[in-house]
Amino acid sequence: MKSFGKYLILLSTLFINRERFNVYVKRIVDESILIGIDSVFIVVIVSTFIGAVTAVQTAYNLVSPLIPLYIIGTIVRDMTVLELAPTITCVVLAGKVGSNIAGGLGTMRITEQVDALEVMGINSASYLILPKIIAAILTFPLLVIIAGFLSMYGGYLAGVLTGVITEKEYIYGIRYQFQGYNITFAIIKSLVFAFLISSISSYQGFFTKGGALEVGQSSTEAVTNSCIAVLCADYLLAQLLL
Partner 1 sequence: MIEIKNISKSFNNKQVLLDVNGQFVKGKTNLIIGASGTGKSVLLKCIVGLVKPDEGSISFDGRDFTQADSELKQSIRREIGMLFQGSALFDSKTVEENVMFPLDMLTTMRREEKLDRANECLKRVGLENANKLFPSEISGGMQKRVGIARAIVMNSRYLFCDEPNSGLDPQTSIKIDNLIKDITEEYNTTTVVVTHDMNSVLEIGEHIMFIYKGRKIWEGSNKDILDTEVTELQDFIFANKLIRDMKAKKDR
Q: Give the long-range contacts of residues 52-57, CB within 8 A, separation 24 or more.
A: 52/154, 52/155, 52/157, 52/158, 53/158, 54/79, 54/80, 54/84, 54/151, 54/155, 55/154, 55/155, 55/156, 55/158, 55/159, 55/164, 55/165, 56/158, 56/159, 56/162, 56/164
For position 167 contacting partner 1 by CB under 8 A, the verdict is no
Site map 79..118 versus partner 1, x via CB under 8 A: ----------------------------x---xxx-xx-x
CA–CA dist 184, 82 (Å, integer): 10
- CA angle centred on 94, ends 141 and 118, rounded to 5°: 95
Site map 26..65 versus partner 1, x via CB under 8 A: ----------------------------------------
For position 17 contacting partner 1 by CB under 8 A, the verdict is yes
Least distance in angstroms from the C-beta of 104 to partner 1: 9
For position 179 contacting partner 1 by CB under 8 A, the verdict is no
- Which residue in 23, 53, 171, 191 binds partner 1 (CB under 8 A)? 23
For position 212 contacting partner 1 by CB under 8 A, the verdict is no
The count of chain residues that interact with partner 1, using the rule CB under 8 A, is 15
Q: Position 174: which residue type? A: I
Binding site for partner 1 (CB under 8 A): 17, 19, 23, 107, 111-113, 115-116, 118-122, 127
